[in-house]
Chains A and B, each alone.
Chain A
């Protein structure tokens, strides 16, 4: 999957840490939130696999931007940019 710069995405609202031991690089506060791809940063072996000595799956890594209003109830005009692996992202088709 390759996501173009500028396309809207949603981060999956999943909580693998509630299921069993994991090493997860997707911070809790962006799960289920809507953002926008800034750019593709490259492809990297999944740290969640390396941390458990599994053969790592290669993941595309994206810089994704979120407005503070999307993340926090108190909001603001500032924004937050996070590195997110592709298997956490769902492309969105906004009307």
Chain B
């Protein structure tokens, strides 16, 4: 079988063959793969959401987060050793940030977990760099015309997350309660955390 033929083999068979050989040679054991799957599954948007909520309630932390996302993630208890540096993009009344990776699918996995399906799609990668308002409309998100959109194409060594603006109706909320309303899509910038009904009591 030529190299090209091998590479065209069914993907599941390819994985079974490669991982089987690596295990036989003592390079990567099946147990290591299972353990790594479990540790990878533990990273989720809840980590980023906790950082956002803390930034909303602690101006000192917000300043540190914007200055050095990696250090601020570590401060929040997230292991950043060996991870790409994290940059944090602040949404303001004048600027709304949205993150894309047009070359592959670079995603701030340390703080958001696995990239969602849409982030990896050709449509998202192609359109966001050119028609961000059209892309946001797919989520029902409208950014006012007088607010500039800043698309951040994640092409190199950094990973980027968005610090959304704190929504109206959340005055007096605890950081824990705030974290519950922050989604991965808010921290990529295709959505914004919705305004809350201030009269509603915590559930």
Direct contact of A and B (CB under 8 A): yes
5 interchain pairs, CB-CB under 8 A: A27-B102, A41-B85, A41-B158, A42-B157, A44-B157
Residues of B within 8 A of A72 (CB): 130
Residues in chain A within 8 A of chain B (CB atoms)? 25-27, 29, 41-42, 44, 47, 61, 65, 71-72, 76-85
Q: Check B153 against A78 for contact (C-beta < 8 Å).
A: no
* Residue in A closest to B97 when the chains form the complex, CB atoms: A81
Residues of B within 8 A of A29 (CB): 102, 129-130
Contact flags B137-170 to A (C-beta < 8 A → 1, else 0): 0000000000011111111111000000000000
Interface size on B, residues (CB 8 A): 19
Residues of B within 8 A of A82 (CB): 152-153, 155
Residues of B within 8 A of A71 (CB): 130
Q: Does B189 lie at the interface of the complex (its beta carbon under 8 Å from any beta carbon of A)?
A: no
CB distance from A14 to the nearest CB of B (A): 16
CB distance from B146 to the nearest CB of A (A): 9
Q: Check A80 against B129 for contact (C-beta < 8 Å).
A: yes
Q: Check B155 against A83 for contact (C-beta < 8 Å).
A: yes
Checking A44, A61, A78 against B151 with a beta-carbon cut-off of 8 angstroms, the contacting residue is: A78
Q: In the bound complex, how far is the Cα of B157 from the Cα of A85, in angstroms? A: 10
Q: Check B155 against A42 for contact (C-beta < 8 Å).
A: no
